[in-house]
Structure 1
Amino acid sequence: MTKQDLRIKTRDGVAKAGLFRSAKTSPAKSGVILYQDAFGPRPALDGMAERLAGEGYAVLVPDLFYRNAPYGPFDAKTAFTEEKTKAALMALVTGTTQEMTISDGEAFLDALAGEGVTGPIGTVGYCMGGARALNAAAAYPDRIRAAASFHGGNLASDAADSPHRKAASIKARVYVGMAGIDRSFPPEQSTRLEEALRNAEVDHAIENYVGMAHGWCVPDHSVYNEAGAERHWRRLITLFAETLG
C-alpha cells in the first residue's frame, strides 16, 4: 500500500491530502474521495482509506479544515467531552461551510485526474463528511457515480445547504447508513431525505443500523462497533463495485 502526500491548490489556499493506492493492483482508474469526520485526517482514516484502496481504487483523503491549519490533533474518544477541545472542534466544523467544501470538490476531482485517475469517482463521508459526500454528487453529477454517507448529520435539515434540497441534481447512486438513534439525523430528516430522493428519481437506499451510535464505523471512536463497521464495509464495497467498476 502506498500513501502519497499531496498539496492541492484550491480557490482559498492549499489543502493537504493523502492519496492511497494498492501496489498489488494495476494503476487505479476509478477513485474515491473520503470526506472526514469532525476530528480531521488521522491514522484511523488512513487505515480506512487503505482498506478501500485494497479494493482497487485510488482513495483521496483531503483535509477539509486546511483554511484553519494548523490545528489539533484531536483524540476522537475524548475531544467532545473536554470543553477546550470541544470548542476548538466546533469552531473548525462551523467555520468550514458546505459551500467551501463544494467549491473544493473541483480541485479534489482535478487532483485525482492529475494522478491518472480518469475513471468514475465515488464519494463517502462520515459524520460531517456525510452531507459533503452527497453535496459533492449534486455539484459534480457528471463526474461522481456513487455517494455514501455513514452517520452523517443534517442530511435533510432546514438549512439552505442541506443536501436533500439538491436531490434533483444527483445522478449518482446514493447509500445512506444511519445510526439507530442520532440527534443529528432524526426520523423526520430521514423521511424528508427519502421523499426528496424518491421524487428526484435518484437510485438510493437508506438503511437504519439499529443499535449503532453516531460514529460506529470509525475505529478510534468511543462508540466504534466492529460488527456494525463490517456491515458498513460490505455495503460500501458493494456500492462501489456496482457503480465504479
Structure 2
Amino acid sequence: MKKRDIEIQTQDGTAKAGLFEPPGGGAGKAGVILYMDAFGPRPSLFGMAERLAGEGYCVLVPDLFYRFGDYGLLDARTGFATEESAAKIRGMISGTTQAMTMRDSGAFIEALRGHGATGPVGAVGYCMGGARALNGAAAYPERIKAAASFHGGNLASDVPDSPHRRAAEIKARVYVGCSGVDKSFPPEQSARLAEALRAAEVDHIIENYVGMQHGWCVPDHSVFDEKGAERHWKRLTEFFAETLEA
C-alpha cells in the first residue's frame, strides 16, 4: 500500500494529497477521505491512512491548507508550544473555512473516482477534520454514505457553519467519538448535536471515550493513547464495514 503523491485541481487552486490503495488496487472499491487535524498531512496520518487502506478502501489524505503554499512540516507535539508557531497554525485554521473545505470536497470525491474508487464514499476526520467530515456528508449526501469524527471540535457551536445546523441535509450514517474531557466539544455541544441528529432522523452514534484527551487517536500527539486508539480503530473499521460494504 505505497503512498502515491497526487495533485487535485479545486476551484481555488491545486491541493496536494496522499493516495493509498488497498491490496490489489482501488478499482471498484469504496473511497475514504481522511480529513486532517490541525497539523496537516504528515507521516502519522499517512500511517493511519495506510492501515485503513489495508481494510480494503482507497484512502485520500488531502492537504486542506494548500492555499498557504509550502508551509513546512508541522509538529503535533510542539505546534502550540510557542506563540509564533501557535499563531501560524491558528491562522491557517481560521483561513481555511468550512465553506472552502466543502467546495474542495467535491474535487476530493472526484479524485477518488478518477483513481478507480467507484464505490460509496466514507469520510473520517480528526480534530478540525471532524466537523469537515460531517459537513462534507451534508454537502454531498448522495455520495458520502458514512461520516466519522474523532475528537472533533465545535461540532455544535454557535457559529453559522457548525455541522449540527446541517443535520437535516445528512443522509450518511454518523459516528462521533468524543474525548472524555474536551473544551472544544463540551457536554452541552454533544447534547445539541445529538438532538439535531435525532430530529433529522440521522442514523448516528455519539460515544464518549472516558479518560481520553483531545488528540488521543493520532500517534504523534503528546496525548496519544494506544489502548484508546485501538478502540477507535475497532469502532471505525466496523462502522465502515457495515456502511460502505453493504
The TM-score range, normalised by the shorter chain, is: over 0.9
* 1:237 match: 237
Distance in 2 between residues matched to 1:107 and 1:59, nearest whole Å: 14
* 1:68 match: 68
Distance in 2 between residues matched to 1:178 and 1:24, nearest whole Å: 34
Distance in 2 between residues matched to 1:28 and 1:47, nearest whole Å: 23
Task: Specify whether residues 168 and 76 from structure 1 end up closer, same or farther in structure 2 by C-alpha distance, changes over 3 A only.
Answer: same
Q: Offset of 1:53 from its aligned partner?
A: 0.1
Q: Percent identity?
A: 69
Task: Specify whether residues 186 and 90 from structure 1 end up closer, same or farther in structure 2 by C-alpha distance, changes over 3 A only.
Answer: same
Distance in 2 between residues matched to 1:22 and 1:163, nearest whole Å: 30
* 1:83 match: 83
Distance in 2 between residues matched to 1:123 and 1:129, nearest whole Å: 10
* 1:93 match: 93
Q: Offset of 1:24 from its aligned partner?
A: 4.7
Contact 2:173–2:202 under 8 Å retained in 1:
yes
Q: Deviations over 1:73-118 (max 9, x none)?
A: 1111111111111111000001000000000011000111111111
* 1:143 match: 143
Amino acid at match of 2:232: H
Q: Offset of 1:25 from its aligned partner?
A: 6.2
Runs of 4+ residues over 4 Å off in structure 1: none
* 2:37 match: 37
The alignment partner of 2:73 has SS state of coil
Query: What pairs with 1:186-197 in structure 2 (closer than 5 Å)?
Result: 186-197=186-197
The alignment partner of 2:230 has SS state of helix
Distance in 1 between residues matched to 2:191 and 2:228, nearest whole Å: 23
Amino acid at match of 2:157: S
> TM-score when scaled to structure 1?
0.98
Amino acid at match of 1:37: D
Query: What pairs with 1:48-63 in structure 2 (closer than 5 Å)?
Result: 48-63=48-63
* 1:168 match: 168
Stretches of structure 1 that go unaligned for 5 or more consecutive residues are: none
Q: Offset of 1:35 from its aligned partner?
A: 0.1
Contact 1:28–1:57 under 8 Å retained in 2:
no
Q: Offset of 1:27 from its aligned partner?
A: 3.5
Amino acid at match of 1:66: Y
The alignment partner of 2:6 has SS state of strand
Q: Offset of 1:214 from its aligned partner?
A: 0.2
The alignment partner of 1:8 has SS state of strand
The alignment partner of 2:64 has SS state of coil
The alignment partner of 2:7 has SS state of strand
Contact 2:26–2:115 under 8 Å retained in 1:
no
Stretches of structure 2 that go unaligned for 5 or more consecutive residues are: none
* 2:20 match: 20
Q: Offset of 1:72 from its aligned partner?
A: 2.8
Distance in 2 between residues matched to 1:72 and 1:150, nearest whole Å: 25
Distance in 2 between residues matched to 1:23 and 1:180, nearest whole Å: 35
Query: What pairs with 1:75-224 in structure 2 (closer than 5 Å)?
Result: 75-224=75-224
Q: Offset of 1:29 from its aligned partner?
A: 1.5
Q: Offset of 1:50 from its aligned partner?
A: 0.2
**RMSD, matched Cα:** 0.9
Distance in 1 between residues matched to 2:93 and 2:25, nearest whole Å: 36
Contact 1:28–1:56 under 8 Å retained in 2:
no
Distance in 2 between residues matched to 1:105 and 1:220, nearest whole Å: 26
The alignment partner of 2:211 has SS state of coil
Q: Deviations over 1:188-229 (max 9, x none)?
A: 000000000000000000000000000000000000000000
Contact 1:32–1:122 under 8 Å retained in 2:
yes
Q: Offset of 1:26 from its aligned partner?
A: 6.7
Q: Deviations over 1:19-58 (max 9, x none)?
A: 1013356735101000000000000000000000000000
The alignment partner of 1:49 has SS state of helix
